[in-house]
Structure 1
Amino acid sequence: MKLLIDLCECNLLLFNSTSNKMLKACVPCLLKVALKKEESEKAQKEVEIALLALSNAVPYYVMERELYLSDVTEIIKYHQEHHNLTRLAYQSVWEFLTNQLSFNQCLKKVVEDDLHFVEEVTRELEELRILIDWKREEKKKGEKEKKEVFTLKRWLRTLESCFLLYKFLEMKNVGLDRCIIELCRASREYERVITESCLSILQKSAERGAVGADALLKAGVANLISDELQRSTLIEK
């Protein structure tokens, strides 16, 4: 069984694409690993690798909901109650699920209403923003902090995909707009890739009406834009 799991993980992590037939073999195998409820460091690592591999299953192929939805829902709901996953594992299971939205729009209700994606990503981003020491140079960051930065970047990538491709997320009433703005402020002097992602998400959400102009102004976007303009002016000088 371990050999099969290793083969599935290698197939999804090392190759840019795979066959639909191979996915149908890999997905149930890796979900079985990810369903472990143990909280030991070894078990958490196994689950993390399995979910990271699953999140790398690029959405080129339609997968029947029966193949994954029940297990993925159980993994997410169990974590929401017991917090048994690492941050990277939790992000990975969400990335795997949202990847399937391009094929199955019926998942919108599950993602938004049943599993509360917007609230969850808002909480995760806020916690990561507080945990990361933004002023510390990259070479001085420990492995744990580097992993937190990596996970945060993946959350932003998932968010941006949801706004750009699936066009269903609403930022209203949960503070996601304010969370993105605060993250932009925290990162702008130290992690410009994160800052640019935040600005892109705000722009895309405003363009499609996921958040109103009044809400953005109330959240502080005007001050953010002003600060960015001043920064650009100083760099040009």
Structure 2
Amino acid sequence: MCLATKRMIACSCRTVQKTVQPTSSTKKFFKLFAQMKNCFAADQKRIIKEMSGLMKDMNEEEFTTVFSKELFDGTDRMMKNKILPFENATLLLKHIGYRKTLNKLWSNSFERSSLSKTLKEMIVAEEKKKEEKNEDLLANMCECYLYLLITYPPKLLPVCVPCLLKAAMRKEESEVVRRDVEAALLALSIIGNRINQEKDQCFDQISDIIRYHQRHSNLTPLGYQSAWEFLIDRFRKARELGNEIVKELKFIREAAREIEELMGFVDWKKENDVMETEEERIIERWMETVRTFIFHCKSVEHESGFHYSG
């Protein structure tokens, strides 16, 4: 991303945050956030769950107001003052980052906050540990950091990618693990096109995740789409992988099947101004992944039977 574009995004985000008026949802959100200063850890988790529910129902302008430098600076202060345990902080940040990613929000509010520097320093410090390294903690920090950014420091990607791939390869059969794997894959999908390079061990790992799901259906719909998005974005310059993705992993077949299944959850009669459902957002993500694949791997159009005209 060029400097001029970054400045334009920063300017537009500041303008939006100054002009958008608080609504009942955003007022309640910040009221709940303030209440966490006077709560025990268990009560904070209950409040964070309520805040997450509010974010789910916010429109774009409301969520942009919530995604603010003040929120992240306040979170950083509560962490440093031992008011907000780091476990609860990451829970809150993952909820915010999840919504930011699905809503496709471009805002540098997090990058301008003190929390951005704090998280980066914590990731580097944890990575330097050897025997005492906490892999789960590192994965949570990487997820939060990548969810909330719009520009990605190259030096941290070699730390985050292996950590998140390891987290995404868990195969225990529980809803908690499914959601943890989804979180790791969603974070990876954000940065796939920032790390284009030739085939490496990463290709084998993400391919194994996809193949295992095709046999056992262990991933969530968003997790499965995110795995494909990361794979195709990461290796978009390796054109010789096109046939491998089509013939061995059956990308076009899988994309068509997933989209068709998700279509069953779409209310075709609803009004245009009704907020998108999560299923509709995943369909959009699938369509964008298909466009990326066809555009960068035109040599497989004939073999796949899928022709791109855009």
Which band: TM-score by shorter chain? 0.5 to 0.7
Report the structure number with the largest CA radius of gyration.
2
Which of the numbers 252, 270, 290 marks the counterpart of 1:159? 290
- Change in Cα spacing, 1:154 to 1:169, as seen in structure 2 (3 Å) is farther
Matched, 1:84 2:190: no
SS at match of 2:200: helix
Matched with 1:54 is 188
Q: How far apart are residue 74 of structure 1 and its match? A: 0.8
Q: How far apart are residue 140 of structure 1 and its match? A: 7.1
Matched residues, number: 176
- Change in Cα spacing, 1:134 to 1:29, as seen in structure 2 (3 Å) is same
After superposing the two structures, state which structure 1 stretch, 57-66 or 46-55, moved more.
Answer: 57-66
Matched with 1:146 is 277
Q: Which amino acid in structure 1 is aligned with residue 164 of structure 2?
A: L
Percent identical residues = 39
Matched with 1:232 is none
Q: Which amino acid in structure 1 is aligned with residue 291 of structure 2?
A: E
- Change in Cα spacing, 1:64 to 1:19, as seen in structure 2 (3 Å) is farther
C-alpha contact (below 8 Å) 2:246/2:304 kept by paired residues: no
Q: Deviations over 1:92-127 (max 9, x none)?
A: 000000002333223213211110101100111111
- Change in Cα spacing, 1:169 to 1:146, as seen in structure 2 (3 Å) is farther
Tell me the distance in 2 between the aligned counterparts of 1:105 and 1:165: 7
Matched with 1:72 is 206
Q: Which amino acid in structure 1 is aligned with residue 279 of structure 2?
A: E
Matched, 1:123 2:257: yes
Which of the numbers 90, 112, 130 marks the counterpart of 2:246? 112
Which of the numbers 135, 140, 146 marks the counterpart of 1:12? 146
- Change in Cα spacing, 1:54 to 1:11, as seen in structure 2 (3 Å) is same
Tell me the distance in 2 between the aligned counterparts of 1:29 and 1:132: 35
Tell me the distance in 2 between the aligned counterparts of 1:26 and 1:53: 9
Q: Which amino acid in structure 2 is aligned with residue 31 of structure 1?
A: L
Q: How far apart are residue 64 of structure 1 and its match? A: 5.5
Q: How far apart are residue 44 of structure 1 and its match? A: 0.8
Q: How large is the Cα RMSD of the aligned pairs? A: 2.5
Tell me the distance in 2 between the aligned counterparts of 1:171 and 1:123: 20
Q: Which amino acid in structure 2 is aligned with residue 158 of structure 1?
A: T
Q: Deviations over 1:61-111 (max 9, x none)?
A: 334533411211110000001111000000000000000233322321321
SS at match of 2:277: helix
Q: Which amino acid in structure 1 is aligned with residue 238 of structure 2?
A: N
Please give the residue correspondences for 1:204-215 in structure 2 after superposition, counting only pairs within 5 Å.
Answer: 205-206=308-309
Which of the numbers 39, 42, 46 marks the counterpart of 2:176? 42
**Unmatched segments (≥5 aa) in structure 1:** 177-201, 208-237
**Unmatched segments (≥5 aa) in structure 2:** 1-134
Matched with 2:84 is none
Which of the numbers 77, 102, 122 marks the counterpart of 2:236? 102
Matched with 1:214 is none
Q: How far apart are residue 139 of structure 1 and its match? A: 7.9
- Change in Cα spacing, 1:115 to 1:26, as seen in structure 2 (3 Å) is same
Which of the numbers 26, 44, 47 marks the counterpart of 2:160? 26
Higher relative contact order (CA 8 A, sep 6+): 1
